[in-house]
Amino acid sequence: MASSNSSSPLKIGIMGFGPFAQFLSQTLLKRGHSLSAASRSDHSLLCSQMGVHFYRDFDELIGSDAEVVLLSTSIISIDNVIRSVSFDRLRRPLPLFVDVLSVKEYPKELLLQVLPEEADILCTHPMFGPESGKQGWKGLPLVYEKVRIRDHSLCQNYLEIFQSEGCIMVEMSCEEHDKVAAKTQFLTHTIGRVLAEMEIDSTPMDTKGFQALLQLNKNTVKDSFDLYGGLFVHNRFAKQELENLELALKIVKEKLLGSANGVSDL
Amino acid sequence: MASSNSSSPLKIGIMGFGPFAQFLSQTLLKRGHSLSAASRSDHSLLCSQMGVHFYRDFDELIGSDAEVVLLSTSIISIDNVIRSVSFDRLRRPLPLFVDVLSVKEYPKELLLQVLPEEADILCTHPMFGPESGKQGWKGLPLVYEKVRIRDHSLCQNYLEIFQSEGCIMVEMSCEEHDKVAAKTQFLTHTIGRVLAEMEIDSTPMDTKGFQALLQLNKNTVKDSFDLYGGLFVHNRFAKQELENLELALKIVKEKLLGSANGVSDL
Ligand SMILES: NC(=O)c1ccc[n+]([C@@H]2O[C@H](COP(=O)([O-])OP(=O)(O)OC[C@H]3O[C@@H](n4cnc5c(N)ncnc54)[C@H](OP(=O)(O)O)[C@@H]3O)[C@@H](O)[C@H]2O)c1
Ligand SMILES: NC(=O)c1ccc[n+]([C@@H]2O[C@H](COP(=O)([O-])OP(=O)(O)OC[C@H]3O[C@@H](n4cnc5c(N)ncnc54)[C@H](OP(=O)(O)O)[C@@H]3O)[C@@H](O)[C@H]2O)c1
């Protein structure tokens, strides 16, 4: 294990340099950590502008001196990405593996299966993104499970980034996360997607409630469909929530039709 | 017609003293207008505390010296209420009739049919309520149609209450209002009701988007089901929007199932 002290800057290697990794990086850099990244696409120009070292492939990053490897690929690609990596390139002490996926049971199982037994694993889900976190992270939740931690000091050092930014630190099992997230985040994304499908648009007479829906729609579609699809496909509780939503709409419709009949009965 | 000058206080008689009338009254009183009310239920205690004269029945209010009669009963009861009134009690000059119903074609037709031809009619919909307007009315829309106005000065005097409070004044036909409101306000209420049916609740890991849904749920269920039912039953465009919502949910579900199949095909 890399020994570390809670205030020292970390060497963090990021796998998957998409919108969320770019967003996280701004704060990680600001806090003085040194970053490298590898990704499916070539982000070398952006990385050089930001001051992030860009590796041409994942194996190079895995062979680097990163103390923390941050997994930030899309939910649906993580399996392919992680299974394509040559872990025999890893240097000792092994880095801490941290994922940021918006589902948690799935990467937990995957990482336990694929990573070398000596590697520590921290599963996290920052409950915010480029939109909701653009004014800072204060008061926004970081959910995490210490799945397999032996170097507690390194793990704490990483978690303290979020703590120092003012995040609400929520330690919770990956299973519990997925149960709750299906009822909250997946539902929210689904409503945002439904509104987008309806092509809702602002008017001169919007109520405040409708303005909130416009905002939700706008923020939801900024996230990739891969992300939304991943919330459904890799959270085993999501299907039930989709069914609950359909059922609730059905009940509301029946109540409306009931009141319509009540009126015509008068 | 009652002659009036745009800065003079008005005598306003309110028919239906429910939550919305009570909310409006606070501002009307603050602006120095003198209020009376009549309602199905006995609101005499609250009225005496507020400084509103309470009549025992609608006919007494109709026979009073009110310059403006404000109709604020529920959408589904307005027909019964207005048809039960003895308009032969009206004093000359006739008052201006103003409604505040959240649907607009329906009261417009009803008032044109039932009120004496000499009575002026202003159809309005303040696009806010006790929750969204509790910090003041600034920037909130008032939609209105001058359905039959001959005493322009009296009508202007009434509208200026909203203008002076900072409302956005949106002159629009009742038909256009209903088309737009079905796509915005009715949709918003429907989503709020669906969320209420699902019994969504706050958790330690709420995203900002989910917090917006919690707020929407809370605000929606504060309004009576009569109000929500009225939005559906008496807005001829609402049914289509309910169907659009169902269809949009179906499409989103198909996309999700498509991405789930995509994954299992790998
Ligand atoms: N956006 C948010 O608000 C948010 C919040 C919390 C957590 N997260 C999580 O953060 C992760 C990244 O999210 P995101 O917003 O950046 O968008 P995303 O669409 O979920 O993921 C984009 C990333 O996945 C990579 N990727 C996609 N398909 C790939 C494939 N077939 N092979 C290899 N890599 C592939 C992309 O690489 P290239 O860019 O190189 O093409 C990019 O780095 C996700 O797991 C998401 O659940 C996101
Ligand atoms: N709440 C809002 O945010 C809002 C915003 C804009 C416009 N509006 C409109 O304002 C009007 C009043 O709304 P509200 O929020 O106060 O609640 P509501 O439930 O729509 O209406 C309540 C009012 O209707 C009366 N009422 C109900 N059933 C009746 C019946 N069978 N016979 C006679 N009167 C009956 C009630 O009388 P009692 O109290 O005497 O029983 C009360 O005055 C509605 O037309 C609504 O569309 C409401």
Beta carbons of A184 and B195 less than 8 Å apart: no
Residue A173, pLDDT above cutoff 90 = yes
Does residue A244 belong to the interface with chain B, where contact is any CB pair within 8 Å? yes
Per-residue pLDDT at A82: 98
Identify the pLDDT of residue B260.
Answer: 87
Alpha carbons within 13 angstroms on the beta-carbon side of residue A217 total 17
DSSP chain B: -----TTS--EEEEE--SHHHHHHHHHHHHTT-EEEEE-SS--HHHHHHHT-EE-SSHHHHHTS--SEEEE-S-GGGHHHHHHTS-GGGPPSSPPEEEE--S--HHHHHHHHHHS-TTS-EEEEEES--TTTTTT--TT-EEEEEEEE-S-HHHHHHHHHHHHHTT-EEEE--HHHHHHHHIIIIIHHHHHHHHHHHTT----TT--HHHHHHHHHHHHHHHS-HHHHHHHHHT-TTHHHHHHHHHHHHHHHHHHHHHHHHHHHH-
In this structure, chain B runs to a length of 266
Tokens 């992300």 identify what position?
A227
What CA–CA distance (Å, rounded) separates B136 from B102?
A: 19
Looking at every residue in chain A, the average pLDDT score rounds to 95
Helix (H, G, I), strand (E, B) or coil at A57: coil
The alpha carbon of residue A63 and the mean position of all alpha carbons in its chain are separated, in whole angstroms, by 25
% of residues, chain A, pLDDT over 90: 94
In our burial notation (b when 16+ CB lie closer than 10 A, e otherwise), range B145-157 reads bebbbebeebbeb
Q: Has residue A2 got a pLDDT over 60?
A: no
Cβ within 8 Å of residue A208, ≥6 positions away: B128, B132, B140
Quick one: what percent of chain A has pLDDT higher than 70?
A: 96
Task: State whether the beta carbon of A99 lies less than 6 angstroms from ligand 1.
Answer: no
Determine the 3-state secondary structure of A104 from DSSP: coil
pLDDT tops 80 at residue A253: yes
Cα B28 to its chain centre, rounded Å, is 16
Q: If phi over 0 gives left and psi between -120 and 50 gives alpha, with beta otherwise, what is residue B18?
A: beta
Q: Do A209 and B194 touch (CB under 8 A)?
A: no
| Residue A89 predicted with pLDDT over 60 | yes
- The reply to whether omega before A93 is within 30° of 0 (cis) is yes
Q: Which of B84, B102, B188 to mutate to test the interface with A (most CBs of A within 10 A)?
A: B188
Atom of ligand 2 nearest to the CA of B133: 3
Q: What is the pLDDT of residue B7?
A: 54
For the sheet with A53-54, list strands across it: A53-54, A34-38, A11-15, A68-71, A96-99, A121-126, A141-148, A168-171
Predicted pLDDT at B263: 52
**Strands A121-126 vs B96-99: parallel, antiparallel or unpaired:** unpaired
Partner-chain contact B184 A203, CB within 8 Å: yes
A76 band by pLDDT with thresholds 50, 70 and 90: very high
Q: How far apart are CA A145 and CA A149, in angstroms?
A: 10
d(CA A104, CA A98): 11
Structure tokens at B94: 């006739």
Size of interface A-B (CB pairs under 8 A): 178
Tell the residue nearest (CA) to atom 33 of ligand 2.
Answer: B40
- Average pLDDT in the A180-192 region? 98
Cα–Cα distance for residue pair B88/B63, rounded to 1 Å = 8
Is residue A204 within 8 Å of residue B250, measured between CB atoms? no
A98 pairs with which residues across the strands?
A70, A122
The class (CATH top level) of B11-172 is alpha beta
Q: Which of residues 168-227 of A touch B (CB under 8 A)?
A: 168, 170, 172, 177, 180-181, 183-185, 187-195, 197-198, 200, 203-210, 212-213, 215-216, 219-220, 225
- The ranges of chain B with pLDDT < 70 are 1-7, 263-266
- Torsion angle of C-alpha atoms A89, A95, A101, A107, degrees rounded to 10: 70
Domain range list for chain A: 11-172, 184-255
Cα–Cα distance for residue pair A85/A80, rounded to 1 Å: 9
CA A225 to ligand 1 centroid distance, Å: 10
Q: Which residues contact A257 (CB under 8 A, 6 or more apart)?
A: none
Residue type present at position A245: L
Contact B128 A208 (CB under 8 A): yes
Question: Tell me, what's the pLDDT at B6?
Answer: 45
- Could you tell me the pLDDT band of residue A1, with boundaries at 50, 70 and 90? very low
Tell me, using a 6 A CB cutoff, whether residue B100 lines ligand 2.
yes
CA distance A73 to A77: 6
User: Which pLDDT value is given to residue B261?
Assistant: 85
What is the pTM assigned to this prediction? 0.95
Answer whether A100 contacts ligand 1 (Cβ < 6 A): yes
Q: How far apart are alpha carbons B221 and B216 in whole angstroms?
A: 9
Distances (CA, A) of B46 to B13, B32, B49, B65: 16, 18, 5, 22
Print burial letters for A184-194: b (CB count within 10 Å at least 16), e (below 16).
bbbbbbbbbbb
pLDDT the model gives residue A6: 45
Amino acid identity at B244: N
Give the count of alpha carbons within 13 A of A19, CB side only.
13
Q: Using pLDDT thresholds of 50, 70 and 90, give the confidence band for residue A25.
A: very high
Q: Please, which residues have CB within 8 angstroms of residue A226's CB and are 6 or more apart in sequence?
A: A74, A75, A76, A77
Model confidence at A261, in pLDDT bands (50, 70, 90)? confident
Give residue-wise pLDDT tens across range B76-105.
999 999 999 999 999 999 999 999 999 999
- Ordered alpha helix ranges (H), chain A: 19-30, 44-50, 58-62, 78-83, 105-114, 152-164, 174-181, 187-197, 208-222, 225-233, 238-265
